[in-house]
Amino acid sequence: MNQQSWRVIFSPPCDGAANMAVDEAILQEVAGGRAPATLRFYAWTPPCLSLGMAQRHAEVDRARLEARGWDLVRRPTGGRAILHTDELTYSVIAPQDEPRVAGSVVESYRRLSGGLARGLQLLGLQIAEANPADAGRKGSGPICFEVPSHYEITAGGKKLVGSAQARRLGVVLQHGTLPLVGDLSRIGEALAFEEGADAREVARARTLARATTLEQALGRAVTWEEAARAMAQGFAEALDLPLEPGDLTGAEREAAARLRVEKYAAPAWMLRR
């Protein structure tokens, strides 16, 4: 496989709009040939509910969200809602002809899932599984972690890593989340359920039955730093991928600051659906 190295970035925690803006800023620079393919790890502060690109804004209970001090953002990728807290988030941003992401969406998911699974093995999780292409299941709920999709990682039959992908300007952007600790059913507190409180409790119970955290899967707590280093090594080993530590360029920082204000923190983007 092509031995061209990728940049790896370990970012400090940011708010939701800033995190999405940084991913898009990197995408623009990669598209223009001004930045290398990039593997980025990050966290969120304050906790943030993210909606998929096509998800309805009406599925959010803004009053409950704000009462808890949680942020809100719309992702540039698809899928359902995720509450980003107590987690490790990764993004892969690479030209579509890069061998590790080339081909169809499902093909690139399959390759990248190998890096995720290897990272989890390095942390001591030997039972992580990547769902095959025919395992994606449809569901009507608004919560991402209720249902595993193509080549997402499960442990003990429960979803552990959720990922989503977008392709723009000849570049693949895939990002995903690995919950480290905590109550995954908390997301139900920020969503609107027309059927009332009973539907909220059903959704919370369904999430707990179908999803898990790394702490639950391993039987021990893992810090963000430990998880990030292991996952980076997992990508390097499974994808035969040389990684070079790096940081955002000045152009990426400028673009991210602009995109945060003009797009991801703007009502027009959040309310587009």
Q: Which residues are catalytic?
A: 144
Burial of 195 (0-12, 13-18, 19+ CB in 10 A): exposed
d(CA 8, CA 17): 21
Q: Which two tokens stand for residue 31?
A: 């598209």
Torsion of CA 251, 253, 259, 265, to 10 degrees: -170
Lateral strand order in the sheet of 87-95:
128-130, 153-155, 158-168, 171-179, 87-95, 38-42, 6-10, 243-245
Report residue 178: phi and psi, to 5°: -115, 105
Lateral strand order in the sheet of 82-84:
71-74, 48-51, 82-84
Q: Which two tokens stand for residue 179?
A: 């919950």
| Residue 134 CB contacts under 8 Å (≥ 6 apart), including other chains | none
How long a stretch of residues is the chain?
Answer: 273
Q: At 157, which amino acid appears? A: G
| Alpha helix positions (H), 90-179 | 105-122
